[in-house]
Amino acid sequence: MRLPLLPLFPSILTILFLALPIVAVIGRSSIAHAEAGAAGGAGRAFPFPVKEKTLANGLKIYVVGYDSPGLVAYYSVVRTGSRNEVEPGKSGFAHFFEHMMFRGTEKYSQDAYNSVIKEMGADSNAYTSDDLTVYHILAGKTALPRIVEIEADRFQHLQYKEPDFQKEARAVLGEYNKNASNPIEKMLETLYDNAFTAHTYKHTTMGFLKDIEDMPNQFPYSRQFFDRYYRPDNVTLLVVGDVDADSVFALIEKEYGGWKRGPARPAVPGEPAQSKGKRAELTWKGATLPMLLTGYHVPGFSTTNVDLPALDVLAELLFAERAPLYKKLVIAEQKVETLSGSADPHVDPNLFSILARIKQPGDISYVEKAIDDEIARVARDGVDERTLAEVLSHVKYGFAGQLSTADRTANTAAQFIALTGSLSSINDYFALYDKVTSADVKRVAKTYFAAANRTAVTMKAAAK
């Protein structure tokens, strides 16, 4: 399972769990093209030609021209993640179907599907997050007709029997147990469980343990979940590379045109405002450095709210290696081994998370106060215009680096499609950075980082 590279600043979740290998080297011309677009002014973060089409059944298709001779990235973006697991006792099914989608169909069994991928010399994988599930293939463009055929087949005709379902459910439990060997995973699970009371972000992408343990008994519900969310009006196809758009549209319409729209989907519950600070203290049976993880509620993704890019700027000001706080805690005082923080973009309001891995248990309170003091300083003083300009420039060129191959470009685009349903949201959001002022940075530091809006989790090794 390969997880996504999220845009702009790397968050805690990104740093810990996300790895996006560069599987094809396109050359300097594509990188230069992307950088020129990112640096060239408002609204041009995504400089590649885009053509789109929506079929009668609601399936949206984007074809992105990219200088990758002979290569094409084919992404199927399902706008369903753990956010959509609204029924009590049914968390974890979005991630579960990431596994099940490789189980085969009547036309292409699991072995037959894998054989086709191997024959094409393709790279095929998938990942799940809070707001999306993505299936992706990177291959030579001559393989595109076969890719469209096998992907259309499994999205419309996935088949599995109850023993196969139960076997995969046990594999998911094994994956959960493996992840649980990381103390930070337990901290994240605890943070979200405490920070959220109504919204489905309360559980992680893996789901609640009790739900995963019960998953082998949920065979009938699995059929319902697939029927509800794996429908053309909830999926976007993204084809990036050396391809002709009209030919791609014709291929896709031929194979996907008969796919039927899905039933109504349940609404995701809203999260009420947090009225007081929360705290949880954990111990770890094994060896671990003490850690502090805090989360502050912040808005969901928007292409009009300048608070979001202002929070990205704040993250850089507070936690980049050149930031005063980092220099103080990590370099000068050497009380902290690692320090990071930012907000993942989400469809609905989520958290700005801060992680400090601390060398001595007795320094947890000191480090927490130092972070609070630095946030308060920015809320009071803001940022000078020169530093603000440098940070914004860093954002633009950092984003351009995520567009260095057809595969990375497709993956970045998939994130924005999941958030808004539209590829144009990349440029719309990027244009907001030119509107960020020092006053905005001060305001978001004061507004969102109040004590009542914070949930804190600490982790220490158990006493021997």
Q: Is the pLDDT of residue 258 over 90?
A: yes
Report the C-alpha gap between 459 and 464 in whole angstroms: 15
Mean pLDDT of 239-243: 96
pLDDT band, residue 400 (cuts 50/70/90): confident
Give the pLDDT of residue 11.
45
State the angle between helix axes of 144-157 and 245-256 in degrees (0 to 180), rounded to the nearest 10.
30
Question: Mean pLDDT throughout 254-282?
Answer: 96
CA distances to 121, 334, 346 from 71, rounded to whole Å, are 11, 47, 30
Per-residue model confidence (pLDDT) at position 31: 31
Residue 250 has pLDDT above 60, yes or no: yes
Q: Quote the percentage of the chain above a pLDDT of 70.
A: 91
The one-letter code for the residue type at 286 is G
**369: which residues sit within 8 A by CB, 6+ positions away?**
none
The mean per-residue pLDDT over the stretch 386-415 comes to 89
- Going by pLDDT thresholds of 50, 70 and 90, the confidence category of residue 464 is confident
The 10 Å Cβ neighbour count of residue 55 is 17
Helix axes 219-229, 162-179, angle to 10 degrees: 90
For the domain made up of 278-461, give the CATH fold: Cytochrome Bc1 Complex; Chain A, domain 1 (3.30.830)
For the chain, give every domain's residue range: 12-256, 278-461
Fold match flag (12-256 vs 278-461):
yes
pTM of the model: 0.90
pLDDT by residue (tens digit) across 279-297? Answer: 999 999 989 999 999 999 9
What is the CATH number that goes with domain 12-256?
A: 3.30.830.10
pLDDT in tens, 12-43: 444 333 333 222 222 323 333 343 343 333 44
Radius of gyration of the chain measured on its C-alpha atoms: 23
Q: What letter would DSSP give residue 402?
A: G
Rounded CA separation 366/38 (Å): 40
> Pairing relation of β-strands 50-54 and 60-65?
antiparallel
For the ranges 26-30, 49-53, 246-250, 265-269, the lowest mean pLDDT is seen at 26-30
> What's the confidence (pLDDT) of residue 395?
79
What's the whole-number mean pLDDT along residues 311-326? 94
- Is pLDDT at 396 greater than 90 in this prediction? no
* C-alpha to C-alpha distance for 262 and 409, rounded to whole angstroms: 29
Q: Which is higher by pLDDT, 395 or 42?
A: 395
Q: What's the CA gap between 58 and 234, in Å, rounded? A: 8
Segment 66-91 mean pLDDT: 96
**What is the distance between the alpha carbons of residues 220 and 23, in angstroms, rounded to a whole number?**
38
The sheet carrying 50-54 orders its strands as: 50-54, 60-65, 235-241, 71-78, 133-140, 123-128
Average pLDDT over residues 203-232: 97
- 397 has pLDDT over 90: no
